[in-house]
Amino acid sequence: MRFLHPLSNSRDAPSCPPFSDRGDGRPDGRAPPFASDHRFRPGGSSPLYFLYRIGSIDAILTAGSGRVRRPSPPTSVDFFQRRVKRSFKDHHRKLEGEAMRLYDVTMTLTHSMPTYPGEPGPALTPVKRMKKGDPANVSALSLGLHTGTHVDAPIHFIEGAPGVEALPLEILCGPARLVRIDDPEAVRPGELERAGLNGATRVLFQTRNREWIKASRFHEDFVYIAPEAAEWLVARGVRLVGIDYLSVEAFGAPQPRTHQTFLHAGVVVIEGLDLSLPPPGDYDLRCLPLKIAGADGAPARVVLAGG
């Protein structure tokens, strides 16, 4: 059998006698597993096929000097296949790492953060301090359950309904659509129609509220979700909604229709999201509220991955 020089297309290149592979080779002359690629077909002039038959980089090096010797023992072709697969996997993993971005859309709890009128903000009280001779620093945290980024439980507006500990993780975590809302007053059905949610089951609304989310003063004229929009979302199978201020309900609404529409339908409500950084698009949502038995709500750490 005659093999072409790997660095030349000339028919006058040095030849190499065949050798008998054991185990991983092809002693019957059959093509390798990846022979569907023309670069690996028998008789081809590709360095890859030459490498497959010879089984050693050393053979290519010696071929450059006009001498081709048979390696002993021959290198398994499986080794080269694994090497190529590993290279592709490493490259793919690198691309994923470069493309993937994490957005922490959780408000930082501080004593100066905005809170809904009539509800207590966070207070961190020292219990033990090392500078006073204690072996560790220990603090006590006090806050309202609807402070900052938080999740509403059904019992928040439905007497006798489950608390926050009963919220299903399969709704709190999964693919989510971040939608930009330009209406300066409310999220309405008309803009939802134009947004093209296309079957999204978790929807987060980015509004002009994002300009106030880090301010210390509470703004009463925040963008809310209109009751008609809540009905529109429920009718289309949405299981989770989130907004970038402290309530989905209009401030001073005579009846909590938006909350009741969502909670009666089992829709999880996330309020107080900091959506000032992520652009609109599709993300992987992770929302993990504190597991407090019987609680009407709970602070949550919320992260978006993607973009």
> In angstroms, rounded to a whole number, what is the distance separating the alpha carbons of residues 55 and 70?
9
Choosing from 146, 150, 156, 259, the catalytic residue is: 156
Q: Which residue ranges form the domains of the chain, and what is each CATH number? A: 1-99 (no CATH), 145-306 (3.50.30.50)
Judge whether 278 and 180 are in contact, CB under 8 Å.
Answer: no
- Stretch 236-247: mean pLDDT: 98
Question: Would residue 156 show up in a list of annotated catalytic residues for this protein?
Answer: yes
Stretch 68-82: mean pLDDT, rounded?
52
Predicted pLDDT of residue 243 = 98
Report the mean per-residue pLDDT for the chain.
81
pLDDT at 83 over 50: yes
Q: How confident is the model at residue 307 (pLDDT cuts 50, 70, 90)?
A: confident
Query: Torsion-angle region of residue 171: left (phi > 0), alpha (psi -120 to 50) or beta?
Result: alpha
Is the separation of the CB atoms in 4 and 45 below 8 Å?
yes
Average pLDDT over residues 205-234: 96
pTM over 0.85: no
Q: pLDDT for 102-156, tens place per residue?
A: 999 999 999 999 999 999 999 999 999 999 999 999 999 999 999 999 999 999 9
pLDDT of residue 82: 62
The band of 76, judged by pLDDT with boundaries at 50, 70 and 90, is low
Contact (Cβ atoms closer than 8 angstroms) between residue 241 and residue 225 = yes
The string of pLDDT tens digits covering residues 35-47 is 444 444 444 444 4
CA-CA-CA-CA torsion sign (258, 264, 265, 270): positive
